[in-house]
């Protein structure tokens, strides 16, 4: 095809160029960066072996699974295991406890790392800032067994905390972990203490990416530090906060069984027993593999619905989403 430019000179447009196909781009990238793709192989193998292949075990939840027969030869029972759980006397208690513990942790625990990062970001003394960060990171690396041992020590009847609670309530000092009404509070508060320092790292990274010229412009407009935080800092890190919130909502029905099992007892099941601990007892200790798998699968489906819903709402309201 030929055409004429404004000066009248004729020139031709070449349509012979073809954009490379996606598979060709991948092969080209592999040839150009073989070391990077080689380094990714162990990660890919890890996820395939420990995350994707175990998905085949979902079939156990639809069977009357017997280890001697394997999941290929065990009797298929359809949704019987799920129906058994829905009609169980523990169903309402498990769902309520799981939701409330996770919801309280989200309500009170999610803002703490954000506030901590914002406050520490205002500190000008670099040495003090680094020491504070190191101290707050440390609980994350302490063994959970040690953490639970500390909780037992600080909540037993002769501890200062138990004495303080007794003074406020007017009751006799008691082991706080043996009282069901205190379990959720102890669990959530100890979780906040253990994780807020580590959780603030991502917000410190987001704060380091805020454009300094925005602060300069707001200062020239007469904004103080608090106004700069509200109108510059928070809007700048809002996408990070939203993404983290979506991920937390997606795990709203996931309360880890390790800490629960280390802290709870039969007398506190009323407020402490959650789906994860119930799966552990019924699936492993009582060897009801199919039943435990069905309960765990139900929990996973609920979390999937929550994360999809939170992502959809966030995309509609804030235009920020995971995908």
Write the CA distances from 59 to 76, 77, 203, 276, 300, integer angstroms.
9, 11, 40, 19, 14
pLDDT along the chain (323 residues), means of 10: 50 50 75 89 93 87 87 87 92 93 93 94 89 92 93 90 88 88 93 93 91 87 87 91 89 86 91 92 88 90 88 82 76
Output the pLDDT for position 9: 52
Superfamily of domain 80-317: MetI-like (1.10.3720.10)
Output the pLDDT for position 11: 47
Question: For the chain, how long is the longest CA-to-CA vector?
Answer: 101
* Burial environment of residue 266 by CB neighbours within 10 A (0 to 12, 13 to 18, 19 or more): exposed
Output the pLDDT for position 173: 86
CATH 1.10.3720.10, the chain: domain bounds: 80-317
Output the pLDDT for position 22: 55
Output the pLDDT for position 171: 82
Output the pLDDT for position 70: 82
Cα angle, residue 134 at apex, residues 129 and 137 outer, rounded to 5°: 125
Output the pLDDT for position 25: 83
Output the pLDDT for position 317: 80
Output the pLDDT for position 5: 52
Output the pLDDT for position 21: 56
Output the pLDDT for position 18: 52
Output the pLDDT for position 55: 86
Write the CA distances from 249 to 185, 205, 257, integer angstroms.
20, 22, 18
Helices (H) and strands (E) in the chain, counts: 18, 4
Tokens of 35: 């070391």
């Amino acid at each position: 095809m030929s055409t004429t430019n404004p000066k009248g000179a004729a020139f031709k447009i070449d349509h012979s160029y073809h954009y490379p196909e996606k598979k060709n781009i991948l092969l080209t990238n592999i040839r150009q960066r073989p070391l990077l793709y080689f380094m990714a192989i162990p990660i890919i193998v890890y996820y395939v072996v420990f995350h994707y292949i175990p998905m085949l075990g979902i079939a156990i939840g639809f069977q009357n699974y017997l280890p001697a027969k394997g999941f290929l030869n065990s009797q298929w029972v359809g949704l019987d295991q799920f129906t058994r759980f829905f009609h169980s006397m523990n169903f309402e208690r498990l769902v309520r406890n799981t939701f409330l513990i996770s919801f309280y942790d989200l309500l009170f625990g999610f803002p703490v790392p954000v506030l901590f990062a914002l406050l520490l970001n205002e500190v000008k003394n670099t040495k003090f800032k680094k020491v504070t960060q190191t101290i707050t990171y440390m609980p994350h690396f302490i063994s959970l067994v040690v953490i639970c041992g500390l909780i037992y020590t600080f909540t037993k009847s002769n501890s200062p905390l138990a004495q303080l609670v007794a003074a406020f309530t007017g009751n006799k000092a008691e082991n706080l972990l043996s009282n069901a009404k205190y379990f959720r509070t102890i669990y959530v508060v100890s979780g906040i203490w253990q994780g807020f320092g580590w959780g603030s790292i991502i917000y410190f990274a987001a704060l380091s990416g805020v454009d300094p010229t925005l602060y300069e412009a707001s200062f020239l407009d007469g904004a103080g530090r608090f106004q700069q935080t509200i109108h510059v800092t928070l809007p700048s890190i809002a996408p990070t906060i939203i993404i983290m919130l979506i991920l937390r909502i997606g795990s709203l029905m996931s309360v880890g069984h390790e800490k629960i099992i280390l802290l709870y007892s039969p007398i506190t099941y009323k407020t402490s027993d959650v789906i994860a601990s119930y799966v552990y007892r019924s699936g492993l200790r009582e060897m009801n593999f199919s039943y435990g798998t069905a309960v765990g699968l139900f929990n996973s489906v609920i979390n999937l619905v929550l994360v999809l819903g939170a992502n959809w709402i966030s995309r509609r309201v804030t235009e920020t989403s995971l995908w």
